[in-house]
């Protein structure tokens, strides 16, 4: 049923979570507390207050996480989502992840609900963001406009999701024929509401996750239990067997 729904869909909205990145060896947010960082909780390193009190400590933790991302590679789950995007009329990929594996797999401009680990912005509110430095340094860069400290361009505890990306994600959830949830528990709001908003507007919701614990159930919700890197390639291959891509990857 899931493959049949995908093949018939004109607009697919995909939501990815930490599970798909974990299959590339990127630790989940809380799993990143290892080695020298084991004595800190994420809340001590991922809040505006933590950065204001200990900017160098927070900067170095994010530099460590950024190095892990740069050492990782997109996995077959990422490749399958690119294949999907090339085969349907319209595909919106929304991610809760802050790594750049979707882009490196060939996906263009995913909607980022929690920002990007690979970019930094001014902590004092100057507009825009820039790529994070390639080299890991203990010294926190300064904003070229105001001289304030630059911070990771991610959403911290206590901060709201950027309304532009979340609004675009909600619009896609309402408009799509199929909503594909990948590697996320669908528990943390407000992103967790997206598949169920989609279901109430008539879409088929396909959930691909190693466990279905905590996931909603219903006649329009199709569970596929297992890792994204295994289940997504199978699903996309079955759905589009014999169908050529509508467009080429760039």
DSSP helix, strand, coil percent of the chain (3-state; round to 5):
40, 20, 45
d(CA 215, CA 57): 36
Query: Active-site residue 114, yes or no?
Result: yes
Query: Which residue ranges does the chain devote to CATH 3.30.1600.10?
Result: 30-71+118-154
Predicted pLDDT of residue 32: 53
Which candidate in 78, 102, 114, 119 is catalytic? 114
Q: What CATH code would you report for 30-71+118-154?
A: 3.30.1600.10
**DSSP type of residue 98:** -
Q: What pLDDT score does 83 carry?
A: 95
Confidence at residue 39, expressed as pLDDT on a 0 to 100 scale: 63
Burial 211-249 (b: 16+ CB within 10 A, else e): eeeebeeeeebbbbeebbbbbbbebbeebbeeeeeeeee
CATH class of the domain whose range is 2-25+74-114+161-239: alpha beta
Range(s) of the chain covered by CATH 3.40.50.1220: 2-25+74-114+161-239
Average pLDDT over residues 230-240: 96
**Residue in the structure block whose two tokens are 């926190």:** 140
pLDDT at 121 exceeding the cut of 90: yes
Confidence of residue 44 (pLDDT cuts 50, 70, 90): confident
Q: Please check the confidence at residue 214 and state whether its pLDDT lies above 90.
A: no
Query: pLDDT tens digits, residue range 60-84?
Result: 999 988 999 999 999 999 999 999 9
pLDDT tens, 160-180? Answer: 988 999 999 999 999 999 999
- Average pLDDT in the 133-150 region? 90
pLDDT at 19 over 70: yes
- The arithmetic mean of pLDDT across residues 144-154, rounded, is 96
Mode of pairing for the β-strands spanning 178-182 and 129-131: unpaired
Hey, which residues does 80 pair with through a beta bridge?
Answer: none
Reading the block at residue 194, the tokens are 């997206």
**Residue 118, pLDDT score:** 96
pTM: 0.91
What is residue 183's predicted lDDT score, i.e. its pLDDT?
92
């Amino acid at each position: 049923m899931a493959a049949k729904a995908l093949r018939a869909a004109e607009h697919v909205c995909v939501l990815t979570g930490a599970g798909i990145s974990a299959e590339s060896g990127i630790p989940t947010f809380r799993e990143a507390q290892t080695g020298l960082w084991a004595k800190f909780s994420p809340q001590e390193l991922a809040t505006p207050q933590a950065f204001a009190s200990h900017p160098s400590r927070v900067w170095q933790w994010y530099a460590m996480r950024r190095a892990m991302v740069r050492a990782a590679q997109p996995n077959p789950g990422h490749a399958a989502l690119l294949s999907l995007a090339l085969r349907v009329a319209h595909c919106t990929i929304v991610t809760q992840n802050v790594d750049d594996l979707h882009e490196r797999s060939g996906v263009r401009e995913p909607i980022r609900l929690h920002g990007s680990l690979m970019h930094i912005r001014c902590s004092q509110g100057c507009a825009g963001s820039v790529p994070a430095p390639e080299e890991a340094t203990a010294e926190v860069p300064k904003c070229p406009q105001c001289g304030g400290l630059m911070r990771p361009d991610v959403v911290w505890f206590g901060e709201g999701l950027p309304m532009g990306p979340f609004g675009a994600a909600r619009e896609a959830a309402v408009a799509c024929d199929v909503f594909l949830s990948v590697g996320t528990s669908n528990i943390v709001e407000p992103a967790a509401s997206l598949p169920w908003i989609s279901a109430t507007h008539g879409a088929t919701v396909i959930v691909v996750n190693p466990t279905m614990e905590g996931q909603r159930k219903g006649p329009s919700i199709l569970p596929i239990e297992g890792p994204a890197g295994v289940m997504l390639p199978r699903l996309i291959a079955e759905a589009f067997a014999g169908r050529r891509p509508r467009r080429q990857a760039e």
